[in-house]
Structure 1
Amino acid sequence: MTRTDLSPLAWLAELEQQRRQAGLRRSLRVRPAVPTELDLASNDYLGLATHPDVIAGGIEALRIWGGGAGGSRLVTGNTELHQRFEQQLADFVGAPAGLVFSSGYTANLGAVVSLSGPGSLVVSDAYCHASLVDACRLSKARVVVTAHRDVEAVEQALAGRTEDRAVVLTESVFSADGVLAPLRQLHEVCRRHGALLIVDEAHGLGVRGDGGRGLVHEVGLAGSPDVVLTTTLSKALGAQGGVVLGPPEVRDHLIDAARTFIFDTGLAPAALGAASAALDVLIAEPSRAADVLRHAAALAEICGVAQQPDSAVVSVILGDAERAVAAAAACLDAGLRVGCFRPPSVPAGTSRLRLTARATLTDEDVELARRVLRAVLGDLPPVSS
């Protein structure tokens, strides 16, 4: 048989079978408009995605500006909503300026690639999100990946560099396990070595800091001239989109250099209207951030997780992928939706249930979670060594 006798996509069938045997096959499930189970899997940490004010904000923007931005922001897609929200969010987190992108993913790509590049060094935590990993690959910089939360390794990488410019990447709250980055120590190292610190606040905004202003604000680094934040509007703010926040010169540079900004259609007005309304709710009701952490602590106790959660995320490591998939399926059958993280989202051997707390959980919700999780986790065989 010659090469031309085979379909150019024949290799996909074999790869699909390998994924299935390893418990790594993924599939899409349709979510109904009215949920039929308790959701502890979404990133709607503050419960704002369906808040009446947030829905009204999206509808009002849709009515005034239409369904889409109509083009890139440099052509026709830059509305008053875009610039007003950028400043609203910047003021909230304590940053001088902000720039809205179409998603958190494109915000990370745009920020990292534009602020590094050939002849620079990028130092990235091993557990950084896929968007930051892809940004490293696209940057054409020399990339050093350091062990998770290893400040000394970051210092060594910066101390030994020959490049003029260096960028250090971290998440403020790591998405898979919910632990916090050592931001103060990282910033001290960056300042000693003249490096820029880029912090992804996707899982910190709305949960950490005074009234949900994020971990960077909480540790006293808000507005620092050598710190740039990225975040998404699709988690605590219950909408869609991404933002880069930092010094005004960073905003100006990204407008000129970030390909994911220049060549992408501007974020839809409805998403901005919803996100702006969600931020208004958070400002008016700052206790929502504390409610998230309170409910996360309750979920951790239910699952027997010894460490007090620092974020909305409660990670229950079960080991192999099939074990985690089976546990998530059993929870869903009992009326509880939880996340299931498997490689490549997490390292091999650490597949897990990932529960996310929400500010709007009721006592009845927590009790349902208790009954289901204790039954499912209690029925699992011991983790093999």
Structure 2
Amino acid sequence: MSDKLFAGLAAQLQERDAAGLTRRRRLLETAQGVHIKCDGQTVLSFCSNDYLGLANDPELINAWQQSANIAGVGSGASHLITGHHHYHELLEKALADFIGLPAALLFSTGYMANLGIMTALLGRGDAVFADRLNHASLNDAAVLSRAELYRYPHNDLSALEAMLKTSNAPRKLVVADAVFSMDGDLTPVPALLALCEKYDALLLLDDAHGFGVLGKEGRGTLSHFNLTSPRIIYMATLGKAAGVFGAFVAADQIVIDYLLQNARTYIYTTASPPAISATLIKALEIIKRDESRRVHLQGLISLLKSGLQLKRWKLEESVTAIQPLIVGSNEEALALSEYLLTKNILVPAIRPPTVPKDTARLRISLSAAHSEHDVAQLIQSLNDAESEMAA
């Protein structure tokens, strides 16, 4: 490798650092939770997607240990060889029933699920219609599918309809986050579905941040809107509200059968350890039976909204556990995050290209594991920060 190539890489890294965009990993030294030790510092964390506080739940730990004693710690093969375990099968059936769609298919990650769906179902000549604020995995999947990609302004149904109306593609797929990961707002699913029915399109919903939190018994965004349709392809992750790891796709049986035969990110990878699936079956039981976690979470969201008295920074409208505080510049967002860290509070600064230019923010993630005292501490620190940093 030439010195010139290395010099080019170094220059690009320096440019990123000068723009305040360098990413750095924090080192977690404890189990996931709201009070953690990170980079040697004990902090109150508002960083995790563990919305129901299940990641370190004793029932799940016990389920993992017991199932590992039975099934071991590795699957040993892909699903289509000998890696598809009884626990995987039970979980797929439980997830389909939970969401209210005919069938489900497990994937190792949400990224792999979205890639698998779109590259299997679409090709050259087909069309993808995607919200501009979609997750990176959906954007990458659309590009890799080789279909024509049309991006409509965030939640702009008129723009989407204009695109659909002029499309002659044999297969059309509308794609959206159900809950947008950096803004916390919901996509208008009923209206999207109506457009898909009108223009003969399928609808792919990425419910990574709604599953387990929204809807009756935490059944997700489809339950929240009381919707079901054979046009819907539903994807959700299992490492956020479910507290463990993985992802799944739920859809009409023919869609799941087609993905099993054609989704390369499913076919050509080792199956996840069966103990993970056994643990997730227990997580589903807790999600369904323990409404108090969601009630408490909603109370914390209301407390945060009512307690912040900010003029310089703006808390976006969100009814979900994702509460974005828009700061503006990269430097100020980083400075605010560092200020909170001096108060032993950890909230990540999110910067472009993850979010649009000049909308750098703190992404406050609330969990049912937080107490009212935890949120009150965050509120006080943010209110103090606005006055102290202005001075």
Normalized against structure 2, the TM-score is what?
0.93
Opposite residue 179 of structure 1, the aligned amino acid is: D
Separation (CA, whole Å) in 1 of partners of 2:213 and 2:146? 34
Q: Structure 2 counterpart of 1:367, which letter?
A: A
Please give the alpha-carbon distance, in whole angstroms, between the structure 1 residues aligned to 2:315 and 2:139.
30
Q: Deviations over 1:277-304 (max 9, x none)?
A: 2111111102322322221222233334
DSSP-derived class of the 1:198 partner: strand
TM-score between the two structures when normalised by the length of structure 1:
0.94
CA drift of 1:105 comes to: 0.8
Q: Which residue of 2 aligns with 1:294?
A: 299
Distance 1:297 1:93 in 2: 27
The aligned residue for residue 283 of structure 1 is 288
After superposition, residues 249-288 of structure 1 pair within 5 angstroms as 249-288=254-293
Instruction: Determine the C-alpha separation between the residues in 2 that align with 1:290 and 1:198.
Output: 28
Match for residue 225 of structure 2 among 208, 219, 244: 219
Name the Cα RMSD after superposition: 1.6
What corresponds to 1:147 in structure 2? 153
Q: Residue 24 of structure 1 aligns with which residue?
A: 21
Partner of 2:196: 190
Q: Which runs of 5+ in 1 are unaligned?
A: none
Q: How far is 1:7 from its partner?
A: 4.8
Say which SS state the counterpart of residue 84 (structure 2) adopts: coil
Q: Aligned partners of 2:300, 2:386: CA distance in 1, in Å?
A: 19
Superposed, 1:1-385 pairs within 5 Å as 6-33=3-30, 35=36, 36-222=42-228, 224-303=229-308, 304=310, 309-381=318-390
Secondary structure of the residue aligned to 2:70 is helix
Q: 1:306 Cα deviation (Å)?
A: 6.1
SS at match of 1:380: helix
Is there any run of 5+ residues in structure 2 with no aligned partner, and where?
Answer: 37-41
**1:370, distance to aligned residue in structure 2 (A):** 2.1
- SS of residue matched to 1:244: strand
Query: Hey, what's the Cα distance between the residues in 2 that align with 1:270 and 1:39?
Result: 28
Partner SS, residue 174 of structure 1: coil
Paired residues of 2:123 and 2:145 also in contact (CA < 8 A): yes
- Secondary structure at the aligned position of 1:163 is classed as coil
- Work out whether residues 20 and 331 of structure 2, in 8 Å CA contact, stay in contact via their aligned partners in 1: yes
Q: Is the 8 A contact 1:297 1:309 kept in 2?
A: no
Post-superposition CA distance 1:308-327 (Å, at most 9, x none): 53111101000011111111
Which range moved further: 75-84 or 330-339?
A: 330-339
- For residues 37-61 of structure 1, give each alpha carbon's deviation from its aligned partner in whole angstroms, at most 9, with x where no partner exists: 1111100000000111111122222
- In structure 1, distance between residues paired with 2:2 and 2:319: 56
Whole-Å separation in 1 of the counterparts to 2:385 and 2:62? 39
* Number of residue pairs matched by the alignment: 378
Q: 1:29 corresponds to which letter in structure 2?
A: R
Aligned identity (percent) is 36
Following the alignment from structure 2 to structure 1, what is the Cα–Cα distance between the partners of residues 62 and 124?
Answer: 45
Q: More deviation in 139-148 or 299-308?
A: 299-308
CA distance in 1, matches of 2:203, 2:191: 11
Note the alpha carbon deviations across 1:115-174, whole angstroms, 9 max, x for none.
Answer: 222221100000000000110110110110110001111111111001111000001100
For the residues of structure 2 that align with 1:11 and 1:75, how far apart are their CA atoms? 44
